[in-house]
């Protein structure tokens, strides 16, 4: 059967007494898109579930992993069988890759992205860059089947609205569909069915929801608006096109940079979005993909697995639970002392209790938590409002979105007015309107790997102009290189900009975050940008003086994590003490070993 980790978790909890019968005839476990699971909370949950099933039925079940975007194949071996990776057989395709047709188009952002008033036509240049991209997509893709990937849900709505308004202006059928996680299942299915229907033009604007896992048939091409999240993500998206025999994979990328003006910062002068996009394509063509983060302790998921194991067995001894989940399980980085600390935290919060015979049992609060369907997921599922029109569910909005009755909004590529907000039921009633503004759905840009930033540095230092750039993109690249040379960033990594100091470590998100936390500990206000750290009220001599004594004595990352206020990042972090939160945060967000050589180079 085809099943999710969450459904497997539910089976173990609700039918724990029947696990042996349910799984005794199991012969193989196939994990598709294996790279998505490695290093993630959900992947750790899946590994723990599979280990618990094998322990319950007393036999080892062969595991098969499938992936098209694993750069380091040994990571798959470690994930599938961490206790014996050498026993995992690797089957690697030697088939030649498909031809790739690629263009990266550059645009200048004249005005910050704001929506024009309803009476403004699309020809007016209020947001010239977004309009120009929408017009090119309309002209190039209409009448075919294409996927248009956009990084944020609000931008999916924005571009879908613009493109469908172009259809209205040109008096042609609407064929642009939005697809993202906040839309109702019915609306997402409608977009997927439009792609699958033969001889029907359909262009779907989507987030990562259509990156993998859903069969949408053959599409003519892929478009990417904005900087790709990662090389692996871009490879996954590109693989959606060119599936016919002899067909090339076609990719169009659209990147915006701000027009040069007196207010533009030195970092923006470097055109980082364009250069990062070029670096991502370069690494894609070299066949490199980001390795997953493997140092994480995943304490949030461990909390979930402790509660789930207690529910499965009806009770379990602490030592047996530690052996099941940690000693022989998938949390080997958690020793007995840390495990006991977690149990004490759960006990203090009445999530677990210990019986007179020593068994761990669910407390009243633990029973309520485990008994709710939301417990089965290892990742955060934020509270949301339901958006309803005439009794039909359109989708959901995050609960922090400001709601005002009478306000206009764009959702599901249509325009609505909020008629009523039913706070107690978390329901928004809307009716059709002519005006609208795209709501903010939240969401970040993910983690950038060190290798991407290092490839960006090579792009700046080179004079080669990639053949896949259009004229504007070539001009933007030259502007970025001119700024790089003007600021002499080939020979220095710190730049004074008034009373602010810009640091260019040419490192990924984790190293930059570690640097930012260390500088915060020294009393500086720090902002992490696209490629630079901006340190407020700082000078090069002053910063050197403060950092020099630290170079020979790297800090303990767990102690350094105490500086960070918002360490509760994963679903069950709220059950952890401050010391456990520091331990967990340090394992995933800080890397002293990689950061300190970078810091020494910065100071030098």
What band does 426 get if pLDDT is binned at 50, 70 and 90?
A: confident
Per-residue pLDDT tens over the stretch 259-313: 988 888 999 999 999 999 999 999 999 988 888 777 889 999 999 999 999 999 9
Model confidence band, residue 213 (pLDDT cutoffs 50, 70, 90): low
Residue pair 526/534 in contact (Cβ under 8 Å)? The answer is yes
Residue 410 is predicted with a pLDDT of: 87
Is residue 554 a part of any domain in this protein? yes
Per DSSP bridges, beta strands 414-422 and 176-179 are unpaired
CATH of the domain at 180: 3.40.50.300
Most confident of 157-161, 260-264, 405-409: 157-161
Is residue 596 assigned to a domain?
yes
CB atoms within 10 A of CB 90: 8
Which residue range is the domain that position 498 belongs to? 492-603
28 contacts: CB under 8 Å, gap ≥ 6: 61, 62, 63, 64
Give the Cα-Cα-Cα angle 470, 475, 477 (nearest 5 degrees).
95
Residues 165 and 58 in one domain: no
Q: Are residues 370 and 311 in the same domain?
A: yes
Per-residue confidence at 189, pLDDT binned at 50, 70, 90? very high
Q: Is the pLDDT reported for residue 490 higher than 90?
A: yes
Exposure string over 25-40, b if 16+ CB within 10 A, otherwise e: eeeebebeebbbbbbb
pLDDT tops 90 at residue 505: yes
Judge if 388 and 370 occupy the same domain: no
Residues 357 and 408 both lie in one domain: no
Mean pLDDT, range 465-477, rounded to an integer: 97
pLDDT tens for residues 86-108?
999 999 887 766 788 999 999 99
Instruction: Name the packing angle between helices 41-57 and 299-313 (round to 10°).
Output: 30
304 and 280 share one domain = no
Q: Clarify whether residues 119 and 197 are in a common domain.
A: yes
Region 499-510 average pLDDT? 95
Predicted pLDDT at 322: 97
- Whether residue 112 is predicted with pLDDT greater than 90 in this model: the reply is no
Residue 116, domain member (yes or no): yes
Answer whether residue 60 is part of any domain.
yes
Give the pLDDT band (50/70/90) at residue 440: low
Query: Are residues 242 and 369 located together in one domain of the fold?
Result: no
Per the domain annotation, does 118 fall within a domain?
Answer: yes
Check if the beta carbon of residue 292 is closer than 8 Å to that of residue 72.
no
Helices (H), 522-556: 540-547
In degrees, rounded to 5, the angle at the alpha carbon of residue 368 between the alpha carbons of residues 364 and 371 is: 130
Categorize the per-residue pLDDT at 383 as very low, low, confident or very high, splitting at 50, 70 and 90. Answer: low
Query: Can you tell me the mean pLDDT for 481-494?
Result: 96
Q: Could you tell me if residue 598 is left (phi over 0), alpha (psi between -120 and 50 degrees) or otherwise beta?
A: alpha
Res 328 pLDDT > 70: yes
Residue 441's nearest CA partner among 474, 405, 396 is 396
* 160 and 268 in a common domain: yes
Mean pLDDT of 122-130: 51
Residue 445, pLDDT score: 57
Are 217 and 259 contained in the same domain? Answer: yes
Q: Work out how many domains the chain is built from and give that number.
A: 4
- Domain contains 450: no
For 76, half-sphere exposure in the C-beta direction (CA atoms, 13 angstrom radius) is: 23
Tally of residues, the chain: 604
Cα–Cα distance measured from residue 292 to residue 409, given in angstroms and rounded to the nearest whole number: 38
Last residue of a domain, which of 238, 254, 286?
Answer: 286
Give the mean pLDDT of 447-474. Answer: 96
Q: What is the CATH number of the domain that holds 306?
A: 1.10.10
**Paired sense of beta strands 500-503 and 494-497, if any:** antiparallel
Mean pLDDT computed over 165-191: 92
Looking at every residue in the chain, the average pLDDT score rounds to 89
- 117 and 188 belong to one structural domain: yes
Note the pLDDT tens digit of each residue in 45-84. 999 999 999 999 999 999 999 987 776 778 889 999 988 8
pLDDT for the residue numbered 402: 63
Q: Does one domain contain both 129 and 246?
A: yes
* Lowest-confidence pick of 13-17, 127-131, 208-212, 394-398: 127-131
- Asked if 147 and 227 sit in the same domain, the reply is yes
Of 398, 432, 466, which closes a domain? Answer: 432
């Amino acid at each position: 059967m085809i099943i999710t980790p969450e459904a497997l978790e539910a089976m173990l909890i609700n039918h724990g007494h029947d696990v042996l019968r349910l799984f005794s005839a199991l012969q193989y476990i196939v994990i598709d898109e294996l790279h998505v699971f490695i290093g993630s909370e959900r992947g750790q949950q899946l590994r723990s579930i599979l280990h618990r099933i094998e322990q319950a039925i007393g036999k080892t079940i062969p595991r098969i992993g499938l992936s098209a975007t694993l750069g380091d194949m040994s990571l798959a071996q470690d994930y599938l069988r961490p206790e014996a990776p050498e026993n995992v057989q690797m089957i690697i395709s030697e088939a030649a890759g498909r031809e790739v047709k690629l263009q990266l188009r550059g645009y200048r952002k004249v005005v910050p992205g704001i929506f024009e008033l309803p009476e403004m036509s699309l020809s007016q240049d209020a947001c010239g860059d977004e309009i120009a991209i929408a017009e090119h997509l309309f002209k190039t893709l209409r009448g075919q089947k294409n996927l248009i990937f956009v990084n944020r849900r609000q931008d999916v709505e924005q571009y879908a609205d613009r493109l469908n308004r172009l259809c209205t202006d040109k008096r042609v059928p609407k064929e642009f569909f939005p697809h993202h996680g906040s839309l109702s299942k019915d609306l997402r299915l409608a977009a997927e069915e439009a792609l699958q229907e033969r001889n029907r033009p359909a262009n779907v604007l989507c987030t990562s929801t259509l990156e993998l896992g859903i069969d949408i048939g053959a599409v003519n091409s892929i478009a990417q608006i904005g900087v790709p999240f990662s090389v692996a993500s871009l490879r996954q998206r590109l693989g959606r096109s060119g599936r016919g025999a002899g067909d090339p994979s076609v990719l169009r990328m659209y990147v915006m940079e701000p027009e040069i003006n007196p207010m533009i910062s030195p970092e923006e002068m470097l055109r980082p979005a364009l250069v990062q996009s070029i670096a991502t394509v370069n690494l894609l063509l070299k066949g490199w993909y980001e390795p997953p983060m493997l140092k994480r302790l995943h304490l949030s998921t461990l909390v979930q697995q402790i509660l789930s194991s207690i529910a499965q067995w009806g009770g379990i001894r602490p030592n047996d639970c530690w052996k099941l989940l940690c000693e022989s399980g998938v949390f080997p980085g958690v020793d007995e002392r840390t495990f006991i600390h977690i149990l004490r935290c759960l006990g203090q919060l009445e999530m677990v209790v210990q019986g007179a015979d020593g068994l761990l049992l669910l407390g009243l609060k633990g029973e309520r938590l485990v008994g709710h369907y939301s417990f089965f997921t290892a990742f955060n599922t934020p509270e949301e409002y339901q958006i309803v029109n005439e009794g039909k569910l359109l989708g959901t909005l995050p609960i922090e979105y400001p709601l005002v009755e009478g306000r206009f909004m764009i959702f599901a590529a249509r325009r609505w007015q909020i008629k009523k907000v039913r706070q107690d039921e978390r329901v928004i009633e809307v009716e059709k309107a002519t005006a609208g503004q795209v709501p903010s759905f939240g969401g970040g840009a993910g983690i950038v790997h060190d290798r991407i930033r290092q490839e960006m540095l090579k792009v700046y230092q080179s004079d080669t102009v990639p053949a896949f750039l259009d004229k504007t993109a070539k001009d933007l690249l030259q502007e970025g290189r001119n700024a790089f040379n003007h600021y002499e960033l080939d020979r220095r990594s710190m730049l004074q900009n008034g009373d602010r100091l810009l640091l260019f470590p040419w490192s990924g998100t984790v190293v930059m975050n570690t640097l930012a936390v260390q500088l915060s500990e020294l009393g500086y206000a720090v902002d992490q940008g696209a490629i630079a750290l901006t340190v407020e009220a700082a000078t090069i001599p002053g910063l050197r003086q403060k950092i020099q004594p630290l170079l020979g004595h790297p800090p303990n990352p767990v102690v350094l994590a105490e500086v960070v206020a918002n360490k509760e990042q994963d679903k069950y972090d709220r059950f952890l003490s401050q010391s456990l939160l520091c331990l967990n945060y340090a394992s995933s967000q800080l890397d002293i070993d990689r950061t300190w050589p970078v810091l020494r180079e910065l100071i030098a």
